[in-house]
Structure 1
Amino acid sequence: MARLLGIHIRNYRALADVRLGQVQYGRGTPLPRLTCLIGPNGSGKSTVLDAFGFVADCLLDGVEAACDKPWRGGFDRLRTQGESGPISFEIFFEADDPARPIVYQLVVDVVNGVPAAIEETCRQRREGETLGKPYYFLKLKKGRGKVWAGQAVGEATESRISQAVTLVDLDKLGIATLGNLSEHPRIVALRTYVEQWYLSYFVPSAARVLPAAGAQRWLDREGANIGNVLQYYQRQNPKGFNAILRRLAKAIPGLKKITPEVSKDKRLLLKFDEDGYQDPFFQHGMSDGTLKMLAYAVLLEDPHPRPFIGIEEPENGLYVRLVERLASQFSSRTANTALSTQMLVTTHSPYFVDALQPSQVWLIRKGGDGHARATCAADVTTIAAMNESGIPLGSLWYSNHFDDGAPE
Structure 2
Amino acid sequence: MQIETIELRNYRLFRDAVLTDLPRLTIVVGANGSGKSTLFDVFAFLKDALTQNVASAVARRGGFNELVSRGQKGPIGITIKFRESSGRLATYQLDIANDRGKVVVHREVLKFRRGRRGQPWHFVDFSRGKGTAITNEAMYGQKGVTAEREERVLADPSVLAIKGLGQFTEFRVVAEFRDLLENWHISDFHISDARSSAEAGYAEHLSMGGENVAQVAQYLYENHPDQFEKVLQAMRRRVPGIDRVEAKPTEDGRLVLRFQDGSFKDPFIARYVSDGTIKMFAYLVLLYDPKPHPLLAVEEPENQLYPELLQELLEEFRGYALRGGQVFASTHSPDFLNGAKLEEIYWLVKKEGFTTVERASDSELLRNLVAEGDLPGALWKQGLFKGVGLR
Give me the TM-score of the superposition, normalised by structure 2: 0.91
The partner residue of 1:185 within 157, 163, 172 is: 172
Deviations along 1:349-390, one digit per CA (max 9) or x if unpaired, are: 1111111222111111101x2100111011111111111121
| Whole-angstrom distance in 2 between the partners of 1:61 and 1:262 | 38
What is the CA-CA distance between 1:224 and the residue it aligns to? 1.9
What is the CA-CA distance between 1:102 and the residue it aligns to? 0.9
Aligned to 1:260: 247
Aligned to 2:90: 102
Residue pair 1:38, 1:45 contacting (<8 A) in 2 also: yes
Residue pair 2:136, 2:147 contacting (<8 A) in 1 also: no
The reply on whether 1:343 has 2:327 as its aligned counterpart is yes
The reply on whether 1:35 has 2:26 as its aligned counterpart is yes
| Whole-angstrom distance in 2 between the partners of 1:287 and 1:145 | 56
Aligned to 1:377: 360
Aligned to 2:42: 51
Aligned to 2:129: 143
Distance 1:205 1:77, change over 3 A: farther
The partner residue of 1:299 within 271, 283, 286 is: 286
Residue pair 2:78, 2:93 contacting (<8 A) in 1 also: yes
- The residue type equivalent to 1:5 in the other structure is E
The partner residue of 1:243 within 226, 230, 233 is: 230
The reply on whether 1:66 has 2:57 as its aligned counterpart is yes
What is the CA-CA distance between 1:112 and the residue it aligns to? 5.0
Aligned runs of 1:294-373 on 2, under 5 Å?
294-334=281-321, 336=322, 339-367=323-351, 369-373=352-356
Equivalent residue of 1:35, what SS? Answer: strand
| Whole-angstrom distance in 2 between the partners of 1:264 and 1:404 | 56
| Whole-angstrom distance in 1 between the partners of 2:271 and 2:103 | 41
Distance 1:123 1:214, change over 3 A: same
Deviations along 1:272-307, one digit per CA (max 9) or x if unpaired, are: 333455554333444332222112111332344212
Equivalent residue of 1:175, what SS? Answer: helix
What is the CA-CA distance between 1:117 and the residue it aligns to? 2.8
Give me the TM-score of the superposition, normalised by structure 1: 0.87
Aligned to 1:27: none
| Whole-angstrom distance in 2 between the partners of 1:210 and 1:170 | 46
Deviations along 1:32-62, one digit per CA (max 9) or x if unpaired, are: 1111111111111221111122112211233
Deviations along 1:182-239, one digit per CA (max 9) or x if unpaired, are: 2211211111122121111112223234433233222221112212221221112112
Q: Which runs of 5+ in 2 are unaligned?
A: none
- The residue type equivalent to 2:326 in the other structure is Q
- The residue type equivalent to 2:236 in the other structure is A
What is the CA-CA distance between 1:160 and the residue it aligns to? 7.3
Distance 1:277 1:117, change over 3 A: farther
Aligned to 2:377: 394
